Amino acid sequence: MKRLFLLLIVSTVLLTACSSVLGAIIGEQPVDNLFGLNDHVIEFELPTTSELAPAQLPYDVTLPVSVPFETPVNDVGELNLPLGVTPQSASEELGISPVIEFSSTAAEETFPTSLGLAEPSLELTFTDDSGSPSVQKSVAATPGQTFTFNKISPCAVIENRTVCRYEATVEEVFFFTLEFEGEEFDTLFNDILQGDAATNTVTATLNANFSADLPNVLSLPTDGSVKLVLKSRNGKVRFG
């Protein structure tokens, strides 16, 4: 009996050691769209300048936004892994497309000449197929980080709305690195990332301050809305 017990202990130690060695050998594996956020379109109305204090006018206004959205989570359960080896952590960079849209039924002459996006943050709740929240996470950009988007011509009229595109002054707009490790990652991996992408979801809220440089007018169009596209890159799971 003692011999059997010792054999079990030795076997467990050897399996753990082998798993660690294999994990170190594997290192990390890239996973596209790890958290299911890439290319997700978010559209929202900006607050009207009539909602702001007079001291904030004219010509350059800051507009706080808080935008909830939901999307399925990617399934990474099909990773080609040796038996008994599981990831230890995961990470992915998140941002938005360098081109965003502003639209309104108002005349183009009233549109902002530029838009700014400052200090965005993201609150996420990953939910399994039972509908129960499994993991919650918040990430924020570096304090003071701001991106400027300048209006580019020509604009277009689509279904009675004028749509103008605004391009960032930098090539890429990435501001978060979403990381999970330890018990938090174990829960995420076991409950969400190995589950059914059709039933596991991430519910998120994007918070940010948008600024608008107005072209010698005292207010934004009352029905002005912004459309942006989330982007992700460098998604990976690590084994060592």
Q: What is the pLDDT of residues 3-22, one digit of tens each?
A: 544 444 434 444 444 445 54
User: Are 240 and 26 a contacting pair, CB within 8 Å?
Assistant: yes
Confidence label for 213 from pLDDT (cuts 50, 70 and 90): confident
Residue 86 has pLDDT above 50, yes or no: yes
Q: Measured between alpha carbons, how far is residue 1 from residues 8, 10, 123, 214 in Å?
A: 11, 14, 53, 82
What are the φ/ψ torsions at residue 10 (nearest 5 degrees)? Answer: -60, -40
Q: Of 98-102, 218-222, 223-227, which range is least confident?
A: 218-222
Q: What is the mean pLDDT of residues 162-178?
A: 94
User: Are 141 and 120 a contacting pair, CB within 8 Å?
Assistant: yes
Q: Of 45-59, 64-78, 86-100, 183-197, which range is least confident?
A: 45-59
pLDDT averaged over the chain? Answer: 80
Percent of the chain whose predicted confidence (pLDDT) is above 90: 38
Domain extents for the chain? Answer: 33-235
Q: What is the mean pLDDT of residues 168-196?
A: 88
Q: What is the mean pLDDT of residues 118-139?
A: 87
**Position with higher pLDDT, 168 vs 194:** 168
